[in-house]
Copies of this chain bind each other. A is one copy, B any other.
């Protein structure tokens, strides 16, 4: 038996951090079935070569995999006909409806509670990401419109994911993020549907111990910086979740530390939250920890929590010791140095 993992480094530092995560998975040993890696293409570079940012073969090959790791995509600096973000397309094509982004700081002592410990659960298939846009010319100039879609079914399944994750955490709290004071129908539907999850017949009282809170998105970001400890699981429509998870990453010192998975009920794709970072591409100094943590999170979603814990502990130790860190964390080490340090702690 083997574990088939699609690898899509895509652009920029994706090509530096995904190979590092691969090395960690190879080093895990008998805690997981022997991993078999399937290298796959996507991104701006492959678009420039082939005219497609997400080749059909990539999508097809992923359907044969047990899980995947995605790097990062570069965006063209101006609008290019035919180009469309492959990560947004992948999430939709594989119906990876949940984007789960834990943001956790590393406590000074291994046994202590981390100061920041929250998880952003971002709806991953709709909101403004349906990309239904039109532009028309009028007498007064051009007018562009985009559709923001919020459905009850998508809100319900992301709500369930949030409650399920909350159940496994000590605080057991879900905070619903919305802007229903302005968007009474779309965000109203999101809020109401997530609120109703614990009362669903099929759920059968499972979430009765979970506390529900809510925050308007603007004030949620403000309070995230002022009192991050008020949050446990934050559940949000797609765009708010995108902004919130970047905001939360600032709390733990670097986007280079924050992992995510894109998950459906039967597939999971790990993805560091950072972008392709063209400014440091090719310099060998990209922080591989977000990608490595993403591989751990992927394993966790595949049911392998013991090896996921091992990886997370190794990463925590490297951060705690603070001797081998990339420049984004104030260190002077290379991607390779950090990878070696993690491998040594495994």
Q: Return A55 CB to nearest CB of chain B, in Å.
A: 20
Given A133-B184, A141-B153, A247-B247, 9 additional A-B pairs, CB 8 A: A75-B216, A79-B184, A88-B182, A128-B183, A133-B183, A133-B185, A141-B156, A142-B152, A222-B247
Tell me the residues in window 158-186 of chain A with beta carbons closer than 8 Å to chain B beta carbons.
Answer: 179-186
* Per-residue interface assignment for chain A, residues 218 to 246, with 1 indicating a CB less than 8 Å from any chain B CB and 0 otherwise: 11011011100000000000010011011
- Nearest B residue to A195 via CB reads B78
Q: Return A97 CB to nearest CB of chain B, in Å.
A: 14
Check if A134 is an interface residue, CB within 8 A of chain B. yes
Give the CA-CA distance A226 to B248 in the complex, in Å: 11
How many residues does chain A have at the interface if contact means C-beta atoms less than 8 Å apart?
56
Give how many copies assemble into the complex.
2
Q: Contacts A133-B186, A149-B145, A151-B144; is A242 near B218 (CB within 8 Å)?
A: yes
Give the CA-CA distance A253 to B128 in the complex, in Å: 32
Q: Contacts A142-B189, A143-B151, A152-B143; is A221 near B239 (CB within 8 Å)?
A: no
- Nearest B residue to A150 via CB reads B144
Are A225 and B243 in contact, CB atoms less than 8 angstroms apart? no
Are B134 and A185 in contact, CB atoms less than 8 angstroms apart? yes
Check if A332 is an interface residue, CB within 8 A of chain B. no
Give the CA-CA distance A239 to B243 in the complex, in Å: 12
Are A225 and B242 in contact, CB atoms less than 8 angstroms apart? no
Q: Return A250 CB to nearest CB of chain B, in Å.
A: 4
A143 neighbours in B (Cβ, 8 Å): 149-152
* Per-residue interface assignment for chain A, residues 117 to 130, with 1 indicating a CB less than 8 Å from any chain B CB and 0 otherwise: 00000000000110
Please list 13 pairs of residues, one from A and one from B, whose beta carbons are closer than 8 Å in the complex, sorted by A's number: A75-B216, A133-B185, A140-B152, A141-B153, A142-B151, A144-B185, A144-B188, A145-B148, A146-B148, A218-B242, A218-B243, A221-B247, A222-B250
